[in-house]
């Protein structure tokens, strides 16, 4: 995720390029001075020439015959002349005219020269003109070149084709060890062998073992792939070269390939070492047409393959690459002898999250209220980068509030900041809007409390957040779950529709506030039908396949159009039924809805505990009333 930042501040660029004079800036300088000289020369000529006016041939002949001309230059395609009066160097006006075939011209010139002392000469145009046109073409070309170069600056400029300027990061010592990477035990285990190999390659070579040249770290963004690669380098105590796949690929064909060459050359000089290529899918995309191909990327990939085949493992170079789209990679990259090992770096589970929080809070001063286990429970779905961010946000919040220690409240607040954004103080909702939002959120919350198979509420808030929400109900599971039952999914959908249901029951109108709920509910219902085989109508048939498992989990239909239409209808029916159920449940508990909404409007944020207290007071009273025998 933020590996760029991590790499940038350590050691800086590769030292190879740094000491060389940058050839690019030299050439730019030369070009600029040439252009300036040309411009100056032109301007100077302009000034010394004075003005040039066009005049008809007849006027020229008249002036010549009348003896009003001091100089005449005859070119093959034009005649220039200077009149007698006003011949100061700056005010000199030159006239040009296009000659017509005139046999008498020579005679007239001679007469004028004899009579009035007019000077005349013929000028061979070709030499000068060609020179001039070459110069002006060069000038235009130079300007164009300069412009192009400026445009391409981002890509390194055309001047430094092949120089992997400022893109390779080298760290002599990463200072990261496996202890800094929390969770990911399986990944660490498979990488330990690499570390051992880098420590004493001889042992492996003696026995005749071939070691994998590279491993592919596969997992969602922010799960610590870069961190793991650095840890391998740190554990083995070898330099760490890193480059992002996207920075290989340039507009110019051949740049990527030469960058790959450069990278391996530099690494070979520092072997044993680790080469880390982040986002390898940027170059390693399959060369078939499905994912779109272009020759530059193919060349870069071919060069990478060639380098991987070419280098000698005995030198101790290990290549690690990271991707979150392994399915798009070219098969050639995954062949034995290349990235034949695949290390899965998953999103952390409960224990992994707790460990990650521990690692990152090692140097953070915290008070006794802090319960990292609870925090780990509350952050299901978060990756290492999120967790690191949460700890830091909490520490910042503590400082902001002038406290020396971080409290659990800071941490919980930080979770909200990371997932929902900061509180938006300047967005003032009108009283009416606030009421609607409150009823909407309490609608969700009541359905959580009134249904089985739901997870406890941590917090309800109607403070708008920077990431767009006007309020939300935050549920935290009591324990990590790896399986979700059909009943739980159904209850979830009803809960999601509870916001709109409450709005409709209370205000007899609906608002745009439920758009996100609708999206989620639809996605859930659809997945039940097409992926999880939870619909009786379709049974256990895969109707959609997951694409981009580690990224956005987009879905691709795997059925006929006819079936797709039926799926749409089934999803619609499920949503409709769930909405009816949500309204049905809420309509029996309108008094509770009113009381909790009133409390929420007053306090803006309430805890799950406060919610349950009110809920139990009202509902409990009802139950005892119902339980009393009705007197006939
Ligand atoms: P990726 O390369 O998978 O996108 P990074 O390695 O760049 O993720 O992770 C970004 C940051 O998140 C790391 O620098 C680290 O602070 C934190 N982080 C991620 N995963 C872990 C982990 N398993 N243990 C500790 N910190 C982690
Ligand atoms: Zn909602």
The pLDDT tens digits for 523-564 are: 999 999 999 999 989 888 888 888 767 766 778 888 899 999
Q: Is the CB of 220 under 6 A from ligand 1?
A: no
Give the closest residue (by CA) to ligand 1 atom 17: 385
With tokens 């608002």, the residue in question is 511
The angle at the Cα of 297, spanning 292 to 301, to the nearest 5 degrees, equals: 115
Give the closest residue (by CA) to ligand 1 atom 11: 385
What's the pLDDT at 365? 93
User: How many angstroms does the Cα of residue 501 sit away from the middle of ligand 2?
Assistant: 10
Structure tokens at 209: 């073992």
Q: Is the CB of 3 under 6 A from ligand 1?
A: yes
What's the pLDDT at 5? 34
Counting ligands in written order, the one closest to the CA of 6 is 1
Q: Which of 125, 127, 115, 126 is nearest to 80 (CA)?
A: 125
What's the pLDDT at 629? 55
Counting ligands in written order, the one closest to the CA of 224 is 1
441 is catalytic: yes
Give the closest residue (by CA) to ligand 1 atom 25: 181
Q: Which of 529, 451, 482 is nearest to 347 (CA)?
A: 482
**CB atoms closer than 10 angstroms to residue 631:** 4
Residues 370-394: tens digit of each pLDDT: 999 999 988 888 999 999 999 999 9
Counting ligands in written order, the one closest to the CA of 354 is 1
Strands 93-97 and 79-83: antiparallel
Close Cβ partners of 240 (under 8 Å, ≥ 6 residues apart) = 170, 171, 174, 229, 230, 233, 234, 273, 274, 276
Contact 317, 232 (CB under 8 A): no
Give the closest residue (by CA) to ligand 1 atom 9: 224
What's the pLDDT at 573? 96
Cα–Cα dist 415/427, whole Å: 21
Contact 474, 459 (CB under 8 A): yes
User: How many angstroms does the Cα of residue 446 sit away from the middle of ligand 2?
Assistant: 12
Cα–Cα dist 64/67, whole Å: 5
Query: What atom in ligand 1 is closest to the CA of residue 217?
Result: 3
User: How many angstroms does the Cα of residue 180 sit away from the middle of ligand 1?
Assistant: 9
Structure tokens at 572: 């619609």
Alpha helices in 531-607 (DSSP H): 561-587, 590-603
Counting ligands in written order, the one closest to the CA of 217 is 1
**What distances in angstroms separate CA 50 from CA 46, 47, 85, 92, 138, one per listed residue?**
6, 5, 14, 5, 25
What is the DSSP track for 329-342? Answer: B-GGGGSTTSS-EE
With tokens 């961190």, the residue in question is 227
What's the pLDDT at 11? 35
Q: Is the CB of 231 under 6 A from ligand 1?
A: no
- Our separate counts of H helices and E strands in the chain read 23, 16
Q: Is the CB of 22 under 6 A from ligand 1?
A: no
Q: Is the CB of 11 under 6 A from ligand 1?
A: no
Q: Which segments of the chain have a pLDDT < 70? A: 1-26, 28-29, 33, 37, 40-51, 86-92, 125-130, 132-133, 148-168, 250-253, 286-294, 313, 427, 548, 551-552, 624-632
End-to-end CA distance of the chain: 70
Cα–Cα dist 500/178, whole Å: 48
What is the DSSP track for 44-93? Answer: HHHHHH-EEEE--HHHHHHHHHTT-EEEEEE-SS-EEEEESS---TTT-E
Structure tokens at 148: 């192009």
User: How many angstroms does the Cα of residue 278 sit away from the middle of ligand 1?
Assistant: 13
User: How many angstroms does the Cα of residue 426 sit away from the middle of ligand 2?
Assistant: 22
Close Cβ partners of 4 (under 8 Å, ≥ 6 residues apart) = 244
User: How many angstroms does the Cα of residue 437 sit away from the middle of ligand 2?
Assistant: 8
Q: Is the CB of 2 under 6 A from ligand 1?
A: yes
Contact 338, 332 (CB under 8 A): yes
What's the pLDDT at 3? 36
Q: Is the CB of 221 under 6 A from ligand 1?
A: yes
Q: Is the CB of 351 under 6 A from ligand 1?
A: no
DSSP single-letter state for residue 1: -
What's the pLDDT at 16? 38
What's the pLDDT at 166? 38
Which of 184, 441, 503, 570 is an active site residue?
Answer: 441
């Amino acid at each position: 995720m933020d590996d760029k930042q991590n790499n940038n501040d350590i050691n800086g660029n590769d030292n190879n390029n740094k000491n060389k004079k940058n050839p690019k800036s030299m050439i730019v300088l030369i070009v600029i001075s040439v252009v300036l000289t040309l411009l100056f020369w032109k301007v100077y000529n302009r000034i010394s020439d004075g003005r040039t006016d066009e005049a008809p041939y007849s006027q020229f002949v008249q002036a010549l015959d009348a003896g009003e001309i001091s100089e005449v230059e005859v070119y093959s395609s034009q005649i220039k002349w200077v009149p007698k009066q006003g011949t100061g160097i700056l005010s000199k006006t030159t006239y040009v005219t296009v000659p017509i075939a005139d046999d008498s011209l020579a005679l007239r010139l001679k007469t004028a020269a004899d009579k009035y002392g007019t000077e005349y000469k013929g000028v061979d145009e070709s030499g000068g003109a060609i020179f001039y046109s070459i110069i002006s073409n060069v000038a235009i070309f130079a300007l164009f070149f300069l412009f192009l170069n400026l445009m391409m600056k981002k890509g390194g400029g055309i001047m430094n084709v092949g120089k992997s300027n400022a893109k390779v990061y080298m760290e002599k010592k990463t200072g990261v060890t496996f202890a800094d990477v929390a969770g990911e035990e399986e990944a660490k285990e498979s990488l330990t062998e690499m570390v051992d190999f880098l420590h004493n390659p001889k042992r492996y070579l003696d026995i005749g073992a071939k070691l994998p040249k590279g491993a592919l770290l596969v997992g969602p963004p922010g799960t610590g792939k870069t961190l793991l690669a650095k840890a391998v380098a740190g554990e083995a105590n070898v330099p760490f070269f890193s480059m992002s796949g996207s920075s290989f690929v340039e507009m110019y064909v051949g740049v990527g390939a030469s960058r790959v060459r450069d990278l391996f050359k530099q690494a070979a000089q520092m072997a044993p070492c680790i080469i880390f290529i982040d986002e390898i899918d940027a170059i390693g995309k399959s060369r078939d047409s499905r994912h779109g191909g272009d020759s530059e990327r193919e060349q870069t990939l071919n060069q990478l393959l060639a380098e991987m085949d070419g280098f000698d493992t005995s030198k101790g170079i290990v290549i690690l690459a990271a991707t979150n789209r392994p399915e798009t990679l070219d098969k050639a990259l995954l062949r034995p002898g290349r990235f034949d090992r695949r290390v899965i770096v998953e999103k952390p589970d409960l224990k992994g999250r707790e460990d990650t929080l521990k690692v990152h809070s090692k140097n953070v001063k915290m008070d006794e209220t802090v319960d990292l286990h609870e925090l780990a429970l509350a952050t299901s779905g978060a990756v290492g980068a999120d967790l690191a961010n949460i700890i830091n946000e909490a520490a910042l919040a503590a400082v902001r509030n002038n406290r020396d220690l971080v409290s659990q409240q800071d941490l919980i607040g930080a979770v909200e900041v990371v997932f929902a954004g900061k509180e938006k103080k300047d967005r003032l909702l009108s009283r009416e809007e606030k009421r609607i939002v409150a009823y909407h959120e309490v609608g969700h919350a009541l359905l959580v409390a009134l249904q089985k198979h739901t997870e406890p509420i941590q917090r309800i808030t109607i403070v708008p957040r920077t990431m767009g929400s006007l309020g939300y109900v935050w549920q935290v599971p009591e324990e990590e779950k790896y399986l979700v039952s059909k009943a739980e999914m159904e209850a979830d959908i009803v809960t999601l529709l509870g916001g709109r249901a409450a709005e409709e029951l209370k205000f007899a109108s609906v608002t745009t506030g439920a758009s996100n709920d609708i999206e989620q509910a639809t996605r859930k219902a659809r997945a039940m039908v097409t992926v999880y085989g939870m619909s009786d109508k379709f049974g256990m048939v895969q109707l959609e396949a997951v694409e981009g498992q580690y990224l956005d989990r987009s879905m691709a239909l795997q059925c006929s159009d006819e079936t797709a239409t039926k799926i749409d209808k089934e999803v619609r029916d499920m949503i409709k039924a769930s909405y009816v159920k949500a309204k049905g449940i809420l309509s029996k508990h309108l008094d509770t809805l009113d009381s909790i909404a009133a409390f929420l409007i007053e306090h803006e944020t309430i805890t799950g505990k406060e919610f349950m207290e009110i809920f139990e007071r009202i509902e409990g009273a009802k139950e005892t009333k119902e339980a009393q025998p009705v007197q006939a």
